[in-house]
A and B are shown apart, each in its own frame.
Chain A
Amino acid sequence: MIIFLQNIVRFILLILIQVFVLNNIRFSGFINPYIYILFILLLPVRFPRWISLILGFALGLIIDSFTNTPGVHAFATVLIAYLRNPVINAFISVEEGANPVPGLHSFGVSAFVKYLISLVVIHHTAFYFLEVFSFHDAGITLMRIVLNSFVTITILLGIQSFKKGKL
């Protein structure tokens, strides 16, 4: 029950922070980190996959509505909601019957950082290429992907290390 409430609060909080704070960063014209995907990253490991897909779609579509990019965030978020389980299985073996929430403590630092980096990079790559919708000037798009992945990962690790494995 507590996990349920936690996730609802996290869902709303992340959208508000994303839309009203991070989407307004005016540094260098390239930086726009997308931290709202933390919601998908922090769902419990054994959370039903079909629900996480639908939640990812809803979350993406809400962010899309605020930025006038229908479908772009939704696509990228559904993609990581689907790839989450394969990526977890690649880096860590979860015991039978256990249902941990991903975190620095439950996964261990190295596995969690790898998990975070892979999904953020996948999300940002899908997002920035779909936003431009062409491979013309791919250099600039790649630069956006690298810069923003770096910033997003830094912020997310910062948030996670503050929480000390609680949330």
Chain B
Amino acid sequence: MSIHSKAVPYLFLLPAVLLLLIFNLYPTVATLNQSLHAQSFISNKLIYVGLENFERILNDPIFWKSVQVTLVFSILVNPIQIVLALLLALLANQRVRGIALFRSIYLLPVAVSINVTTVVWGLMLDSDSGLINGILATLSLPKQPFLTAPSHALWSIILLATWKGVPLWALFFLAGLQGIPESVIEAAKIDGANRRQIFRLITLPLLRGVLLFVLVADTVANFLLIAPVYSLTQGGPQLSTNLIMFETYRRGFVYNDLSTSAAMLWVMLIFVLLVVLFQAFVLRRRG
């Protein structure tokens, strides 16, 4: 009986662990191995080169440009999405007439795939016939080269990511808000707290867990974004939307340099982990 019951939890864990071992851990480690090798031109065999691939990346201005683009993108897109999502959730959590309909409507983008999102926004942002330029024209404002100017393209990617991302993260915030007991808010109101105080002193602290989750998940999701860059800008114009993720794709699958691509992915993964741990650390300490 005791041997049996000791084995049970491992038995329950076995299928998941086995599957992850085969289809996640093994290929991930294999990528690390690839990053330490180079493809031989003659025999198609892998030759061990140590950290040479990493050295090459670190001396590559295109890589550093993509790091810069990724950093600017992250610093802009994550706060924009999180603030808007929180705002949306706060509004949707009110007891106003018609709020259920509103919730259903703003949730719609969550169901739309990134491929469809990209096509629709490509249409909206078109320089000649796009909707946004149409609106600008009626306001007698000049047309904007949304996807074709280095100064605009990254903002267009941010816009698209925000359209798809905000409702999703708002959903998590809304769930968190609904978990806050009404009595706590009522008590604060009786003590004379105004709305701003209630938000700062009660709502926000009670949302800390959700906030941490959304912050981390959103940061990771935006690091991994590739579809809109792939179909709308191909990293351009002038590398202005060349996010690291897209650069690794280009190295690996357009230039067929899988070893450099793998090394770049490792650099990025370590970076993402550092960012995520930093976020977790800061939020934990605040609370």
Q: Are A and B a genuine interacting pair, yes or no?
A: no
